[in-house]
Amino acid sequence: MTGKAKPKKHTAKEIAAKVDAATTNRGGGKAGLADRSGLDKGGHAKFECPHCKITAPDVKSMQIHHDAKHPKIPFDEAKVVNLHASHSVDPAKPRPGVRGSFKK
């Protein structure tokens, strides 16, 4: 029986992708709070705005934020707080992989 170009089965790759998407922390919600804050493992929140304390992954993103949210204050790169420099990382703790999982 055919069914108008609908596959009859799910492939192993598709099922693995769904399991990976459902079980891997992508950095959102309550589970990603530590990642966004930059306190425990550094995370993606590397720089912090000195005016409103919002975080950004790089200086360019921080400059875009500053130009949009604080247009009357001139941007000074020296005032941007580097969260990774202010917090130490424990080398004994395992770090997640590229996509946030411990898979190799």
Tens of pLDDT, residue by residue over 11-70, are 888 888 888 888 876 767 776 776 666 555 555 678 889 999 888 888 898 999 999 999
In a domain, 66, yes or no: yes
Residue 26 lies in a domain: no
**Looking at residue 24, what is its pLDDT?**
75
Number of domains present in the structure of the chain: 1
Query: In terms of Cα–Cα distance, which of 48, 58, 45, 52 is closest to 70?
Result: 52
The Cβ of residue 80 has, within 10 Å, a number of other Cβ atoms equal to 17
Confidence tier at 86 by pLDDT (50, 70, 90): low
Element (H, E) at 85: helix 83-86
Per the domain annotation, does 94 fall within a domain? no
pLDDT of residue 67: 94
Give a yes or no: residue 63 inside a domain: yes
C-alpha–C-alpha distance, residues 39 and 88, integer Å: 9
pLDDT at 73 over 90: yes
The answer to whether position 13 is within a domain reads no
Residue-level pLDDT at 102 = 53
43 domain-assigned: yes
Q: Which domain holds residue 78?
A: 35-87
Helix (H, G, I), strand (E, B) or coil at 56: strand
Examine residue 93 and state whether it is found in any structural domain, yes or no. Answer: no
Is 79 in contact with 50 (CB distance < 8 Å)?
yes
